[in-house]
Amino acid sequence: MRHSAMWNLYYRLSPAAQGHGFAAEMVKAACDAAADLRPDLPLVASVLAHNRSSQATALRAGLKQVWRGPDPGNPDVSAVRLIYADRPLSDGLIETLTRP
């Protein structure tokens, strides 16, 4: 049986649902579930640098920025990708996360 190497903290809300605290509530529930089910796996969030709200949500969840660089495959060649995690990540996992 193959297990994932991480928990991917991913969410998307419609504009009408933004700004009501739903993201924080979902992230809290996801963090709690990850800690209960597989605390040995890192919790990771990958966000674009221009998305300040997602950055703030990751920071409130206790994640720290562990990588910053280009966003491969993004049509905007100036886009910057940030990776946040609850612990240091291996070079291999960062490579996997930043591959196009």
> Is 7 inside any structural domain?
no
Number of domains observed in the structure of the chain: 1
> Is 1 inside any structural domain?
no
| Contact present, 18 and 39 (Cβ < 8 Å) | no
Distance CA 32, CA 39 (A): 10
CB neighbours of 27 closer than 8 A, spacing ≥ 6?
A: 9, 11, 57, 58, 60, 61
CB neighbours of 5 closer than 8 A, spacing ≥ 6?
A: 41, 42, 93, 96
Give the per-residue pLDDT at 4.
66
> Is 38 inside any structural domain?
yes
pTM score, two decimals?
0.89
Sequential pLDDT tens for the chain (100 residues): 344 699 999 988 999 998 899 998 999 999 999 999 999 999 999 999 999 989 999 999 999 999 999 998 899 999 999 999 999 999 999 999 998 8
> Is 67 inside any structural domain?
yes
CATH of the domain at 58: 3.40.630.30
Domain housing 92: 20-97
